């Protein structure tokens, strides 16, 4: 959160017309969570919430057209949050057991490769404070989980790029070169 994923994806979308871009939209699910009065600090409510998010993510993945796709946040992000949020609040819930079927289906949606925009906590906090276009209501929860995130993404075909001192233009150029280098474009 606040590393520049959506900004980068939107910049690339303007240049890569033959690629489909899929942007996560958590707002309907957050509104549904509020309507159901779910408390993320209670195991039963967390499981209900994550089941909704996972099912929505699987539907998003299955509705994509054939061809090349770039996500601003992919299925791995939902899987990470599902598995690590309880740990970040000091809970040892049996998430894997309770969401076994859903997590297996979500695992089938994984990305072929991931570009992880790596930023220091100070950079993320500064960007959050200076971005008045989005609320980022779950930022504090994200920061609690941040220490686990890089380790999680290491298990996938992930390229980490330090974005602390990169402008959006520099990051766009780097990403276009990277995508060209791996034969994506």
pLDDT tens per residue across span 91-125: 999 999 999 999 999 999 999 999 999 988 888 78
pLDDT at 57: 95
> Which pair of structure tokens corresponds to residue 32?
């549904």
> Which pair of structure tokens corresponds to residue 2?
């606040």
pLDDT at 138: 62
pLDDT at 125: 80
Phi, psi of 99 (to 5 degrees): -120, 30
Find the angle CA(137)-CA(139)-CA(143) to the nearest 5 degrees.
160
139-153 helix and 121-130 helix, angle to the nearest 10 degrees:
140
* More confident call, 121 vs 165: 165
Q: Which residues pair with 25 in a beta bridge?
A: none
Phi, psi of 97 (to 5 degrees): -70, -45
Q: Is the pLDDT of residue 137 over 60?
A: no
- pTM, 2 dp: 0.87
pLDDT at 18: 94
Quote the mean pLDDT of the chain: 90
Q: How many CA atoms lie within 13 A of 94 on its CB side?
A: 3
> How many Å apart are CA 1 and CA 57, to the nearest integer?
18
Taking a C-beta distance cutoff of 8 angstroms, is the pair 51, 28 a contact?
A: no
Domain segments of the chain as ranges: 5-181
User: Which CATH topology does 5-181 take?
Assistant: Rossmann fold (3.40.50)
pLDDT digits (tens, 9 = 90+) for 48-57: 999 999 999 9
pLDDT digits (tens, 9 = 90+) for 33-73: 999 999 999 999 999 999 999 999 999 999 999 999 999 99
pLDDT digits (tens, 9 = 90+) for 124-133: 788 777 765 6
> Which pair of structure tokens corresponds to residue 73?
């946040």
> Which pair of structure tokens corresponds to residue 114?
């991931």
Mean pLDDT, to the nearest integer, of 72-78? 93
pLDDT at 141: 66
pLDDT band at residue 145, thresholds of 50, 70 and 90?
A: confident
Kindly calculate the radius of gyration of the chain based on its CA atoms and give it in whole angstroms.
17
Q: Is the pLDDT of residue 139 over 70?
A: no
């Amino acid at each position: 959160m606040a590393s520049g994923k959506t900004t980068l994806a939107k910049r690339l979308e303007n240049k890569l017309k033959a690629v489909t871009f899929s942007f996560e939209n958590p707002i309907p699910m957050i509104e549904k969570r509020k309507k159901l009065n779910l408390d993320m600090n209670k195991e039963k409510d967390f499981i209900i919430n994550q089941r909704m998010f996972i099912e929505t993510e699987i539907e998003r993945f299955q509705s994509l057209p054939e061809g090349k796709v770039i996500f601003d946040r992919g299925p791995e992000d939902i899987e990470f949050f599902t598995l690590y949020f309880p740990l970040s609040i000091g809970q040892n819930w049996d998430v894997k057991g309770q969401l076994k079927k859903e997590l297996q289906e979500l695992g089938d949606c994984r990305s072929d490769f991931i570009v992880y925009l790596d930023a220091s906590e100070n950079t993320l906090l500064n960007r959050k404070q200076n971005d008045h276009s989005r609320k980022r209501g779950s930022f504090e929860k994200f920061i609690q989980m941040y220490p686990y995130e890089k380790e999680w993404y290491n298990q996938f075909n992930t390229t980490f790029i330090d974005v602390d001192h990169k402008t959006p233009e520099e990051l766009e150029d780097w990403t276009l070169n990277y995508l060209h280098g791996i034969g994506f474009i």
